[in-house]
């Protein structure tokens, strides 16, 4: 195998909702930073152009044909999203349906399918879709900011390539409800989600008692962290839940959703993580892939709604981890100019720089107590960890 890491990318990949937190600069800047840092020119790394949109007949092997037709209709006539019947398909004004919504979502699905197929078929050991990570959608409706759930598509692609057991790890601050729901009754797919508790945050799910369907007991694990958790809470969840569960499940490949919207500067959550956490998260995932799947690993981006802060640096770090190549100790000298050209007024001065971050004395301690309780609940509910 000559390709260690395939980076499936195009600057115009992803959704293009108007006036919306989803911003293509997140993955554009991540890939630009990885390029400037030398990651994309490292041995065994290939940048693979994102493919054309997935054909309807291929989408229909994973998503309900009526749902696909509905998304096509709302893309052709966005004004219809205001009609009450749109709700059955998950179409709401929150996502500002637009003329090319189906095309963009189908192209993102195609990118995830390509990444999964390359890893499953032996074309690459690892693959990443920085623009991916839409994890809320179900086979019959959209949800959250996503239309066709590309994390589920990546898993389907691995299965189609002959990979029998897959572990899916979701680190987005929002529960990976759509992917969990898609594989709820599938004993060959383990879904593990570490997220802010649904009592406080969309999609209001992901509680410890959600453990899988009748034919797949224990196939879902949820760590529902309280608001205010920081780096140590996530490290503990990886150490005590994610790692042991994945190893016990013994998958043949790992799929991860690597949202960084738990970063303290993110506008859509209440968490307190910092840039120092992300190398530890990605390293832990890499070790799991090596230990359980022969190194096979498909990663997708995910949440991160301050496009100039955490996502570019975190996902460049992720690509370096997947490529098994070190980052330079200093940010590339070209980075400030690239970031400012993209509309970022104060580019980060270092990989883990956190200007303006102020620890709240006592706050992290209280959150850690809640995190330990959430981790204990997740462990108690899981047959893999009992």
DSSP H helical segments within 221-263, as ranges? Answer: 231-237, 243-249
The answer on pLDDT for 18 being more than 80 is: no
In the predicted model, what is the mean pLDDT of residues 6-31? 92
**Range in 25-29, 111-115, 363-367 the model is least confident about:** 363-367
- Structural domain contains residue 77: no
pLDDT tens digits for 39-83? 999 999 999 999 999 999 999 999 999 999 999 999 999 988 888
Residue 95 has pLDDT above 80, yes or no: no
Mean pLDDT of 327-354: 96
* Alpha-carbon gap, residue 259 to 312, rounded angstroms: 11
Backbone torsions φ then ψ of 49, nearest 5 degrees: -60, 140
Return the H-helix or E-strand segment holding 127.
strand 126-129
Q: What is the CATH number of the domain that holds 216?
A: 3.40.800.20
Taking 60 as the threshold, does the pLDDT of residue 1 lie above it? no
Q: For residue 379, name the pLDDT band (cuts at 50, 70, 90).
A: very high
Whose CA is closest to 303, among 337, 341, 271?
A: 271
Q: Which domain does 170 fall in, by range?
A: 5-52+103-381
Residue 39 DSSP label: S
Residue showing tokens 């490292």: 42
pLDDT at 181: 98
Residues 238-268: tens digit of each pLDDT: 999 999 999 999 999 999 999 999 999 999 9
169-210 per-position pLDDT tens digit = 999 999 999 999 999 999 999 999 999 999 999 999 999 999
Kindly state whether residue 162 falls inside one of the protein's structural domains. yes
Cα 23 from chain centroid (whole Å): 15
Q: Residue 21: pLDDT band by 50, 70, 90 thresholds?
A: confident
Q: How confident is the model at residue 221 (pLDDT cuts 50, 70, 90)?
A: very high
Q: What's the chain's length in residues? A: 386
Please state the pTM of the whole predicted model.
0.97
Q: At 361, is the pLDDT very low, low, confident or very high (cuts 50, 70, 90)?
A: low
Residue pair 116/157 in contact (Cβ under 8 Å)? The answer is yes
What share of the chain has pLDDT > 90, as a percent? 89
- Asked if the structure places residue 144 within a domain, the reply is yes
Q: How many angstroms separate the CA atoms of 31 and 316, rounded? A: 7
Is 138 among the domain residues? Answer: yes
Q: Which tokens go with 206?
A: 């992901």
- List the structure tokens of 354: 């956190």
Q: Domain count of the chain? A: 1
With a cut of 90, say whether residue 378 has pLDDT above it: yes
219 occurs within a structural domain:
yes
What amino acid positions are annotated as catalytic residues?
A: 136
Answer whether residue 30 is part of any domain.
Answer: yes
What is the pLDDT averaged over residues 339-362?
90
Q: pLDDT at position 294, please?
A: 93
The confidence band for 337, taking pLDDT boundaries of 50, 70 and 90, is very high
Residue 139 lies in a domain: yes
Paired tokens of 56? 């309807």
Mean pLDDT across 312-323:
98
Distance from C-alpha of 169 to C-alpha of 291, rounded to nearest angstrom: 15
Is 72 a domain residue?
Answer: no
Give burial (CB, 10 Å; 0-12/13-18/19+) of 96. Answer: middle
What whole-number distance in Å separates Cα of residue 251 and Cα of residue 261? 27
Q: In whole angstroms, what is the distance from residue 341 CA to residue 344 CA? A: 7
Assess whether pLDDT exceeds 60 at residue 31.
yes
């Amino acid at each position: 195998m000559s390709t260690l890491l395939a980076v499936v990318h195009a600057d115009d990949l992803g959704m293009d909702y108007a006036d919306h937190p989803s911003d293509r600069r997140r993955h554009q800047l991540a890939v630009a930073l990885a390029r400037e840092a030398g990651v994309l020119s490292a041995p065994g790394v290939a940048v693979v152009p994102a493919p054309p949109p997935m054909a309807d007949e291929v989408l229909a092997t994973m998503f309900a044909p009526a749902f696909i037709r509905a998304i096509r209709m709302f893309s052709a006539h966005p004004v219809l999203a205001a009609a009450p019947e749109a709700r059955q398909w998950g179409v709401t004004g929150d996502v500002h349906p637009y003329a090319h919504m189906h095309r963009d979502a189908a192209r993102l699905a195609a990118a995830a399918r390509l990444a999964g197929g390359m890893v499953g078929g032996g074309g690459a050991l690892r693959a990443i879709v920085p623009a991916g990570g839409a994890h809320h959608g179900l086979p019959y409706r959209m949800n959250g900011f996503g239309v066709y759930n590309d994390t589920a598509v990546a898993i389907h692609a691995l299965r189609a390539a002959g990979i029998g057991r897959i572990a899916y790890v979701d680190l987005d601050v929002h529960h990976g409800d759509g992917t969990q729901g898609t594989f709820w009754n599938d004993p060959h797919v383990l879904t593990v989600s570490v997220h802010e508790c649904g009592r406080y945050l969309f999609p209001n799910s992901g509680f410890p008692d959600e453990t899988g369907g009748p034919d797949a007991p224990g196939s879902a694990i949820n760590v529902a962290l309280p608001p205010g958790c920081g780096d140590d809470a996530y490290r503990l969840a990886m150490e005590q839940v994610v790692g042991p569960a994945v190893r016990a499940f013994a998958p043949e490949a790992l799929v991860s959703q690597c949202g960084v919207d738990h970063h303290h500067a993110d506008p859509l959550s209440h968490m307190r993580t910092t840039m120092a956490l992300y190398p530890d998260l990605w390293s832990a995932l890499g070790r799991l892939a090596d230990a359980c799947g022969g190194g096979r690993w498909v990663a997708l981006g995910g949440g991160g709604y301050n496009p100039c802060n955490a996502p570019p640096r975190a996902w460049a770090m992720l690509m370096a981890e997947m490529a098994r190549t070190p980052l330079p100790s200093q940010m590339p000298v070209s980075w400030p100019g690239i970031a400012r050209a993209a509309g970022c007024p104060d580019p980060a001065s270092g990989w883990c720089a956190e200007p303006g971050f102020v620890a709240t004395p006592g706050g992290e301690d209280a959150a850690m107590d809640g995190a330990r309780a959430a981790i204990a609940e997740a462990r108690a509910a899981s047959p893999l960890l009992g």
